[in-house]
Amino acid sequence: MLSQLKGMSYPVPDVSAKAERFRASLRLGIANVPYYNCSMFSSGFPPIRSFRRRIVYPILSLVVALGLVLGQPIGAQALPWAELILRGVQVIQLANLSDRQEVALGSQINEQIIRSGQARISRDRALTAYIDEIGQRLAKASTRPQIPYTFQVVDDNRINAFATMGGFVYINTGLIKAADNEAQLASVIGHEIGHVAGRHAVNQMKEMATIGLGASAAGLNRSRAVALGVELALRRPHSRNAEYEADELGLKMLMNVGYAPSAAPTFMQKLVSASSPPTFLSTHPAATDRIARMNQQIPPDQRDTGIGLSTTAYRQRTSSLR
């Protein structure tokens, strides 16, 4: 066997041409090197150039780490530089999340929410189609119409709605029953689309990476990001500014589509005035402030004009819940 191997010749790979192309690319200021995956975007996320990963990311991470040091209290500044740099990498990864990456991550968060049983999706096709009809109409009038939106009905009598990154919106049957008309329901759906349009969940992830939550030696990898996304969607309230922005964006969608904008503050006032206000209101900014802000944002001549105010038509479309 050895004697046979001795007589065989093996081609030697010619790396000189590749090396020359690489040197030429460096002279042009562009590293024409193969793609490699960064930890956050592995297994299905678009890769990042090796040059950017090896050179640009460390520099940016140092800059972000320095910002974290300067922005933290004195006690927090005692953190090791390695940990601060890791947080910087995570912040940069999230800051550069593309629409396609956000939708892919949101899809995995959605799968985990459903698989874990934390949201029981309704099998009422007619009702789901109705909610999707309203949602898609509003999404087209949003500031992020370019991403796909998925609207799902959650079989839960509690009055609530929530959204996660990538265009996934969930509306509880309890909220659908609480609304008096389609415009009121649309005001809540528009608010949740506003969270997606404002990238509020992504911003929350960046904030949590800044303070070190969700950190690991491997960075913010996909499984960690999914777990964190589920936590944010179900149990972590948005900031006051995020809620105000979602209110404003939702109100603009209502008016752009043609719904009566007064439905938004009217429905919120109804929920606040109930004998048992929904628990989600306790984690949001003061409802009275939000109602006042929305009333100020509605042009007086448009307040009570528009579609979606018929209670009879709404009850017919949601009759399966009555």
- CA atoms of 39 and 289, how far apart (whole Å): 42
Q: What's the CA dihedral at 62, 67, 69, 72 to 10 degrees?
A: -150
C-beta separation of 84 from 69 below 8 A: yes
C-beta separation of 173 from 284 below 8 A: no
C-beta separation of 47 from 37 below 8 A: yes
The predicted model scores a pTM of: 0.72
* pLDDT score for 283: 64
**CA–CA distances in Å: residue 10 to residues 7, 13, 14, 153:** 10, 9, 12, 63
* pLDDT score for 222: 75
Q: Crossing angle, helix 263-273 and helix 240-257, to 10 degrees? A: 130
What residues does 163 pair with on adjacent strands? 169
C-beta separation of 118 from 158 below 8 A: no
Residue 258 CB neighbours (<10 A) = 14
Residue 221 CB neighbours (<10 A) = 18
> How many helices and strands, by DSSP H and E, does the chain display?
15, 5
* pLDDT score for 8: 46
Residue 105 CB neighbours (<10 A) = 26
Burial code (b: 16+ CB inside 10 Å, e: under 16) for 285-308 equals bebeebbeebbeebeeeeeeebeb
* pLDDT score for 91: 57
The total number of residues written for the chain in this structure: 322
- CA atoms of 29 and 34, how far apart (whole Å): 16
For the chain, first and last CA: distance in Å? 83
What residues does 36 pair with on adjacent strands? 48
Per-residue pLDDT of the chain (322 residues; tens, 9 = 90+): 434 444 444 444 444 444 444 344 434 333 333 333 334 444 444 444 444 455 444 544 444 444 443 444 444 444 444 444 445 455 566 677 899 999 999 999 999 999 999 999 999 999 999 999 999 999 999 999 999 999 999 999 999 999 999 999 999 999 999 999 999 999 999 999 999 999 999 998 888 766 655 544 445 567 888 888 899 888 888 888 999 999 999 999 999 999 999 999 999 999 998 877 777 666 667 888 999 999 999 999 998 899 999 999 999 999 999 8
- CA atoms of 179 and 268, how far apart (whole Å): 10
C-beta separation of 308 from 267 below 8 A: no
Q: In this structure, what are the phi and psi dihedrals at residue 183, rounded to the nearest 5 degrees?
A: -65, -40
* pLDDT score for 46: 44
Cα angle: 148, vertex 152, 158; to 5 degrees? 140
Which position has the token pair 């996304």? 229
Tokens describing residue 227: 């777990």
Burial code (b: 16+ CB inside 10 Å, e: under 16) for 83-96 equals ebbbbbbbbbbbee
CA 13 remoteness from chain centre: 47
